[in-house]
Structure formats: structure tokens, C-alpha cells
Amino acid sequence: MEKEVEILKEWIGESERIVFFGGAGVSTESGIPDFRSQDGLYHQKYQFPPERIISHSFYQRNPEEFYRFYKDKMIYRNAQPNMAHKALAKLEQQGKLSAVITQNIDGLHQMAGSKHVLELHGSIHRNYCERCGKFYDLDYVADSLGVPVCSCGGRIKPDVVLYEEGLDNDMIQQALYEIRHADMLIVGGTSLVVYPAAGMVDVYTGHRMVLINMSPTGKDSQADLIVKGKIGEILGEVVD
């Protein structure tokens, strides 16, 4: 076992209140592309840059194009949890992990069995009518033609935080509470460039901040340990 992986395993063994903070890289081993890796969505060619398509103003002005991209590139109905999701669920069951804080919208942590998941950017599994508030599941949206419409005639919007939209304040407070009270913070599969989410890790004041990523992040200098590699393989190796 690599030295860094050994230390990670040792720290997990000694910790009692681990918090995991993750991003799109957690789900690439489940076949869902991230945004900023070489084969991520931002390196593919679209009519508009993806960050513009998944913004609030674009959604308002051009819902047809938004939904064409969203259904094609953001929804992966057959994706299954990988070793990273499963290892984190196991740590929670063992009473060692208090929360998973995720920027992901795919619902794979819950599918793996994690109970306390704070979804900073919402979920593709929840969708609401903008007029009457009626709830719709993922299948309804994915199977609809073009822009999904409610039985009342209103437009249905996914409960995901688009660029230009604010995060839920209660969710932010819960996430900050968990990070402040953590005895170990594992940050994985995130480029840490999307704010305000990325700034949350700054409130951790302990001495066990671990970054697991395939490439450098903006917060490498803050980490107590950096483990380079695929997060599913790494967490699969260190969690029994």
C-alpha cells in the first residue's frame, strides 16, 4: 500500500466524526462525466458553453435548449454507486462518519445507503412545477418530450441549483456545522473552484484534512494529506 494510503487508513481508524465533502469526480467511476477533467463536459463542443446552458438566465430564456442538454448530459438513469459511495455509506453505518456533503446531483450516495447526505446543489431526482409546486420524479422528466409540463400546464423545473442561483441557506448552515465539528475532513473528486461550495472546507480547523483527487486542486496547500488517484479505488482499499 502506498504511504499516503496507509496514513489515510490509519487516520480513518482513529477518527470518530469524519465528514466527507465531494464533487463530480466521485461519480466518474460510475460512468458519469465530471465537468473539468480532460474528458469532462467542459472539454466537449456544444452550441453554447455548458456553464452558460445550465445557468438560471439561460433556462428562463431558452428552456428547450436547456432541457436538451440537461437530459442528454446530466441524467444517467443507469448509473450505479461505485466503491467510493459504498465505502462512505459503510463508514456511516460503522458510526464513524457524520455527513456526506456533496455538490453532486445524481443521488448515488443515497443509492449506496448513506443516510445523512447534504446535497448542496440539489438533485435530479426532485422536480417541481413552477406554477403549482406539484412534485415529479426523474422518470417523468427524462421521458417527457422537450420541456416537461405539469398536469396544470406549468413548466417543471429540476430541483438543482443552476449557475446564478443561490444555495439553500439551511443547507449551508448544516454543512458548515458538520465541517466545523469534524475530527477528519475528507475532500474528494472536486476541483474546488465552484463557490460558495468550495469555500466551505475553509471552516475546518482540525489537522486531518485529506484531499483525494486525480489532479491538483486550488486548496492543496491547505491539506494535511494528499492522496492522488481514483477515489473509488482508494476508499475501497482503506475502508473494511
Helix (H) or strand (E) holding 21: strand 18-22
User: What is the nearest approach in angstroms of ligand NAD to the Cβ of residue 223?
Assistant: 13
Query: Is 207 assigned a catalytic role?
Result: no
**In angstroms, rounded to a whole number, what is the distance separating the alpha carbons of residues 136 and 133?**
9
Backbone angles phi, psi at 12, to 5 degrees: -60, -40
Q: Answer whether 178's CB lies under 8 Å from 204's CB.
A: no
The residue within the footprint of ligand NAD, chosen from 87, 231, 238, 239 (CB under 6 A), is 231
User: What is the nearest approach in angstroms of ligand NAD to the Cβ of residue 75?
Assistant: 10
**In angstroms, rounded to a whole number, what is the distance separating the alpha carbons of residues 136 and 124?**
10
Taking the mean position of all CA atoms in its chain, how far away is CA 213?
14
Q: Answer whether 212's CB lies under 8 Å from 2's CB.
A: no
- Site mask, ligand NAD, residues 172-211, x = CB under 6 A? -----------------xxx-xx-----------------
Shorter beta-carbon distance to ligand NAD: residue 81 or 148: 81
Contact between 121 and ligand NAD per CB under 6 A: yes
**Binding piece for ligand NAD, criterion CB under 6 A, among 29-37, 56-64, 137-145, 177-185:** 29-37
Cβ neighbours of residue 139 closer than 8 Å, sequence gap 6 or more: 77
Q: Answer whether 210's CB lies under 8 Å from 229's CB.
A: no
Contact between 34 and ligand NAD per CB under 6 A: yes
> Of residues 121, 125, 181, 207, which has the active-site annotation?
121
What amino acid positions are annotated as catalytic residues?
121
* Contact footprint for ligand NAD (CB under 6 A): 23-25, 27-29, 32, 34-37, 40, 103-106, 121, 189-191, 193-194, 212-215, 217, 230-231
